[in-house]
Structure 1
Amino acid sequence: MTTTGRFFCADAARTRGDSIVGTAPHGTAWVLIEYRGGWPADGFDGLDLEPGTKALVFAAARAARARVLLVRRHGRSVPQGGPPRWAVLRYDATGAHRQHWGTWGRDEDLAQIAPALTTPGEPSGRPVVLVCAHGLHDACCAVRGRPVARALSERRPDLVWECTHVGGDRFAANVVVVPDGVYYGNLDAGSAVTVVEEHLAGRIGAEHLRGYTDLFPPQQAAVAAVLDRFGPAGRHDYAVARTFRDDDGWRIRVTGRPPGPATADGEAGVEIAIDVDVRARRTPQRQLTCRGPATSSAVVYEAVSIRQG
């Protein structure tokens, strides 16, 4: 993927071996707005919409702590049937995720998003697969994201959308499954198809997992360590039961039922408790995005021990 003489943050991150563990932004609600034209560098904020409607949507999303993403189907040259769509999606710990879908033709139609953010929505197990392909925000999102969007769209055209910035440019290609709230990174066309198909089959693995968005970074790292130790599992097969902060880091108890024989006596299907010690460290100053030469430090979360409680 490297082009001589040009800096690509995802190439640099892979060369350094940057960890993706614990890097999923926290949040449990998403607003998706289908926008078939060009995306501004700052996404929804940069759209030239009717000011009152735009302010209403922005305020409602901020109050609900919802992330607003522009979306489109892969391949804008392909004719799109029907009016553009919008959605409000919410994570639910029970797995009965809530979704509210609508359409818009005029800017003012987007005002429907505000009341949708204050009502539960309909329960649905149907996921949405988002691929960050926001090239004006970061070149790597386009260079690495669009081939992934193409590959996934060929397999799951009804589920897959390209989207604006989701965070973690240097981990491109990034895929987010919502409202499950699961972030994946460092994907290419082949690995993305495998990861998404496994996810849809209820098998989330650790290799490309950035984290679960309902958890905070140390908790994300703990769950990733459990998945790495015991193997892929469903989105709700494990839960964080307790988080204890000490001077050195965190001790996090994860409970659940590992797939297959996992307990000491080889009995499958029995709930166990796993204690994970997580530590944090800061990296040296580095250039972390393509868009500017400014450097910054990142926090890395590492599981230093894992044991059955």
Structure 2
Amino acid sequence: MTGTERFFCADAARDRGDPIAGTAPYGLVWILIEYRGGWPANGFDGLDLQPGVKALLFTAAQAVRARVLLVRRYGRRRDEGPHRWAVLRYESSGAYRQQWGTWSRDEDLAEVAGALGAPGELGLPPVVLVCSHGRHDTCCSVRGRPVARVLSERWPDLVWECTHVGGDRFAANVVVAPDGVYYGGLDAGSSVVAVEQHLAGRIHAEHLRGYTDLAPPQQAAVAAVLARFGPAGRHDYLVAGTSRLGTHWRIRVIAHPPRPAAFDVEVRSYRTPPHQLTCHGPAMSSALVHEVTSMIRIG
């Protein structure tokens, strides 16, 4: 690349062949706050909210390790109806819970802290979040907004644009919550297929970054099983055991019938040579890769 060429981290990641499996950040709880104005580079942290409310929400979110995302509908006008907020929760039982509300004043957002302790509602359709946070990273906008547009046209009630979800170099990134499933490396066509299949209970390995309730090596193990045996539902495979020796992991993955019973998946974790991993961060960093080295069927 010459000094006059613009750097795009997602293009560079594709040229390098950066592995995508095992790159989903941990998360069981998401707080969504609709904000139709310009998003600060650091998202919710940069909003000019009443300090007491902001501190209350930040503390409550931190206590449950919730990710706070600003959201908006694709192409909607700023004055169109009340602003919404939501608390989305994935439980260890596999249950998905949601609680929604509206806000017009900063003080109304104090309700979000209370919602973090409420049970939430079962049975609501999932939320599809598309990272299009251009002020955080150029690729998130360049690649994310076309995906947000096409998904919003197909599922207008499910899809929201959102602020940074992690992994800029894997843009376009889509998160299905509270399912806790990260997809990356998407474009307009592949995003429609991925979401359509997800909603039909068929998660494919091709664009899967991982499940957010699993550690990265476990994510890579499940993705490898999906790649070998084909798409499956969110709970068709369960991580039943994990052991580690240095940089090597052994992960037991079991399946619900009629799929093959169980597998021991060997994963090696290592760091890559330093690269520029984001558009706006010129510093060189190494990435942690989780490579599946073997898979043995048990029973």
TM-score by length of 1: 0.93
SS in 2 for 1:85: strand
CA distance in 1, matches of 2:134, 2:167: 13
CA distance in 2, matches of 1:288, 1:270: 38
CA distance in 2, matches of 1:204, 1:270: 15
Q: How many residues align?
A: 295
After TM superposition, give the deviation of residue 103 of structure 1 in Å: 0.3
After TM superposition, give the deviation of residue 76 of structure 1 in Å: 3.5
Correspondence 1:37-48 to 2 at 5 A: 37-48=37-48
For the Cα contact (< 8 Å) 1:33–1:85, is it kept in 2? yes
SS in 2 for 1:87: strand
Report the equivalent of 1:297: 286
For the Cα contact (< 8 Å) 2:98–2:124, is it kept in 1? no
Report the equivalent of 1:280: 269
For the Cα contact (< 8 Å) 1:95–1:125, is it kept in 2? no
Choose 7-16 or 116-125, whichever is displaced more: 116-125
CA distance in 2, matches of 1:90, 1:295: 35
The amino acid across from 2:25 in the alignment is P
The amino acid across from 1:291 in the alignment is H
CA distance in 2, matches of 1:207, 1:271: 20
Report the equivalent of 2:61: 61
After TM superposition, give the deviation of residue 130 of structure 1 in Å: 0.1
For the Cα contact (< 8 Å) 2:252–2:265, is it kept in 1? yes
Residue 105 of structure 1 pairs with residue 104 of structure 2: yes
Residue 92 of structure 1 pairs with residue 81 of structure 2: no
Correspondence 1:67-216 to 2 at 5 A: 67-77=67-77, 80=80, 82-216=81-215
Q: Provide, for residues 131-152 of structure 1, a one-character-per-residue CA deviation record: whole Å limited to 9, x for no partner.
A: 0000000000000000000010
1:220–1:143 distance in 2 versus 1, CA, 3 Å: same
CA distance in 2, matches of 1:104, 1:247: 49
Q: Provide, for residues 116-174 of structure 1, a one-character-per-residue CA deviation record: whole Å limited to 9, x for no partner.
A: 11122111241000000000000000000000000100100000000000000000000
CA distance in 1, matches of 2:61, 2:123: 21
CA distance in 2, matches of 1:50, 1:41: 19
SS in 2 for 1:245: strand
Report the equivalent of 1:264: none
The amino acid across from 2:282 in the alignment is P
CA distance in 1, matches of 2:282, 2:247: 33
Q: Provide, for residues 10-48 of structure 1, a one-character-per-residue CA deviation record: whole Å limited to 9, x for no partner.
A: 010011111111000011000000001110000000000
Gaps of at least 5 residues in structure 1 are 258-267
Determine what percentage of the aligned residue pairs are the same residue. Answer: 72
Task: Let me know the Cα RMSD of the aligned residues.
Answer: 1.3
CA distance in 2, matches of 1:50, 1:70: 16
Report the equivalent of 2:34: 34
For the Cα contact (< 8 Å) 1:8–1:140, is it kept in 2? yes
Runs of 4+ in 1 over 3 A off after TM superposition: 76-79
CA distance in 2, matches of 1:157, 1:201: 17
CA distance in 2, matches of 1:270, 1:50: 53
SS in 1 for 2:275: coil
SS in 2 for 1:243: strand
SS in 2 for 1:112: helix
